[in-house]
Amino acid sequence: MTPSHSADTSDLELLRAHVDGDPEAFGVLFGRHRDRLWAVALRTMGNPEDAADGLQDGLIAAFRRAGSFRGDAAVTTWLHRVVVNACLDRLRAAKVRAADPLPDDLDERESRGSLRTATAASLDPAELSVADERRRTVLAALQTLPEEQRAALVLVDMEGYAMADVAQMLDCAVGTVKSRCSRGRARLAGLLTDRLAALDADPTGGTTSGPGDAGLGNRPAGRPVPSQDPPRGPPASP
């Protein structure tokens, strides 16, 4: 953080400084929210390459449109809205449907809502193997959802944002977010019930938690787990 931008400098002050021509303010602002913006882009897009492109599109849009920020939401909510919309635009244009491999970065990090329900230290190798496979199964199923449902579930169930905040990010009513989450969860349940049950009966003898613990719908809204390690791969700020 530069001397002119201390930890006490608010997000709004940084955004206004950027609009007024401060060449460093936007970079400081992005640095504050980099982890969560990257996590949302990664889960929405499904792989690091597309996530980097979506995040870059969003950051460029935010950089250029900062003057249009109306102040009717928190700056971080506005940033997420711009990045999510950029990712959804890419998904719609490319007609992406669960064809890309899951990023290893997601599996390695517990902190960004990674679906991990137990630490490696608490699991024997067989249990850890089953837990990893369960996580991959859930994430792969997530990529089959329609883009709007996927974005809502990523923001609410995996990132822990409140419904009202997600409604602002997605520019829709709270009821719409609830409906998208409900339909998405129902669709995931249909896809995952048999698959996760089969993993629970893994012949290695490892025991895992039930399908409801796979990472969707368990974290209280607005209470995400704080990041501990920076993610790998997101692009630099514009």
Q: Give the distance, in angstroms, between the CA of residue 227 and the centroid of all CA atoms in the same chain.
A: 12
Q: What is the domain partition of the chain in residue ranges? A: 8-99, 102-225
Does 8-99 match 102-225 in CATH topology? no
pLDDT tens digit string along 163-194? 999 999 998 999 999 999 999 999 988 888 77
Rounded CA-CA distance 207/131 in Å is: 9
Rounded CA-CA distance 138/217 in Å is: 12
Query: Who wins on pLDDT, 200 or 29?
Result: 29
For 102-225, which CATH class? mainly alpha
pLDDT tens digit string along 204-228? 544 444 434 444 544 444 444 333 3
Q: What is the DSSP string of 56-75?
A: HHHHHHHHHHGGG--SSS-H
Contact criterion met (CB below 8 Å) for 61 and 32: no
Provide the pLDDT for residue 235: 60
pTM for the whole structure: 0.66
- Joined together, the tokens standing for residue 39 give 């996590």
Provide the pLDDT for residue 138: 75
CATH ID of 8-99, from 3.40.109.10, 3.40.50.1820, 3.40.50.360, 1.10.1740.10:
1.10.1740.10
Backbone angles phi, psi at 7, to 5 degrees: -65, -20
Provide the pLDDT for residue 226: 38
User: What is the 3 state secondary structure string of the chain?
Assistant: CCCCCCCCCCHHHHHHHHHCCCCCHHHHHHHHHHHHHHHHHHHHHCCHHHHHHHHHHHHHHHHHHHHHCCCCCCHHHHHHHHHHHHHHHHHHHHCCCCCCCCCHHHHHCCCCCCCCCCCHHHCCHHHHHHHHHHHHHHHHHHCCCCHHHHHHHHHHHHCCCCHHHHHHHHCCCHHHHHHHHHHHHHHHHHHHHHHHHHHHCCCCCCCCCCHHHCCCCCCCCCCCCCCCCCCCCCCCCC
- Other beta carbons within 10 angstroms of residue 167's beta carbon come to 21
For residue 133, what pLDDT band results from cuts at 50, 70 and 90? Answer: confident
